[in-house]
Copies of this chain bind each other. A is one copy, B any other.
Amino acid sequence: MALHAAILAGGSGTRFWPASTRAVPKQMLALTGGEPLLRETVARLGGLVPPERTLIVTSASQVEAARAMLPELPPQNVLGEPQARNTAAACALAAWACRLQDDDPTLITLPSDHVIAPAEDLRDSLAAAAARVEETDGLLTLGLIPTRPATGYGWIELGDEAATVDGHRVHGVRRFVEKPDRAKAEALLAAGGHLWNLGMFAWKAEAFLRELATHLPQVAEPLAAVAPALGTPGQADALAAAYDRAMGISVDYGVLERTERLECLPCSFHWDDLGSFAALMRHLEADADGNVGSGARLLVETADCTTWANDGELTALLGVEDLIVVHAGRVTMVAPRGRAEEVRRLVDGLGAAGLEDFA
């Protein structure tokens, strides 16, 4: 079995704006102080999937930057989507692209912008997931054993145990619960048997394309039409035509919730989707006053503030509390820490204010 990986890097840069932007989305940033998240995602697969079998699916505008960031990948492995069409189309494109490289490829599909440790545990789970779908010809999603009643994630209710693969249990999937309210999330956590949906999948390319054709022809057909052009000079035009027609829908909603062939593999590594500046705080070391941040800082009578600055810049705070203070590119952004999730409202407001250039 030659295992392939498809890393979905289509994020648009609104959650960490202005640190992330359309030009430099979250996955291209070293948010936690190490390497850019996309590089860390590729590195995490080391030993499981080699660079020549690792695909990146990103926006067309990010292709050159991603290639430059990942020189170990063959340039053609970085695929540019001409417009954002959510994850179903991206998964389909990845499946077709794998088939260019192998007759009957198995692939794992995963996000580009999460924090996961230890990498070995992730690889171990992914290897078991890949082995399972080789055997079943079905689809598989990784589910994380929850540690808190999170309201921001999708949850998966496990069905019966179906098998054990290399020490990993594999279950059927009873249903999906999308972003429950707090009371519901607490009930799910207390009940057990409910996992967080990580957006990390395993399937054989043929199996995925078969299920896609059955449940989501609005994506399957346009993307199938692209396949003959992949790797040819006509690729960009074919992609443009296909993405004009393809439905924008998540692979979870469009395929995984509809198929009968889905299984879930529970896993338990440390994981964070870094959904906002608030999440970022969990990965940076706070000073005695609860302040976290990157770059040079001068803090006087300041507590519980999160800061972010361009390299070589200083953030100086006097007498403030509970703020997020970001300067990046040509933008200074300030908001209360508790409203980190609302930063995208600023991004959404740029257009109407004639400030599109700052998005």
Which residues of A pack against B, CB within 8 Å? 18, 296, 298, 300, 307, 309-310, 312-320, 323, 325, 327, 330-336, 339, 342-343, 345-346, 349-350, 353, 355, 358
Contacts and interface: CB of A to CB of B under 8 A. Distances in A.
Contacts of A327: 327, 332
A334 to B, nearest CB: 5
A298 B349 contact: yes
Number of copies: 2
Nearest to A340: B318
A339 B355 contact: no
B330 A318 contact: no
A345 B332 CA distance: 22
A309 B334 CA distance: 13
Given A318-B335, A319-B339, A312 B296 contact: no
A319 B336 contact: yes
A276 to B, nearest CB: 12
A66 B320 CA distance: 36
A225 to B, nearest CB: 41
Given A300-B346, A345-B318, A346-B318, A312 B339 contact: no
Contact of A298 (B309, B317, B346): B346
Contacts of A18: 314, 316
A298 B333 CA distance: 9
A334 B345 contact: no
A334 B334 CA distance: 9
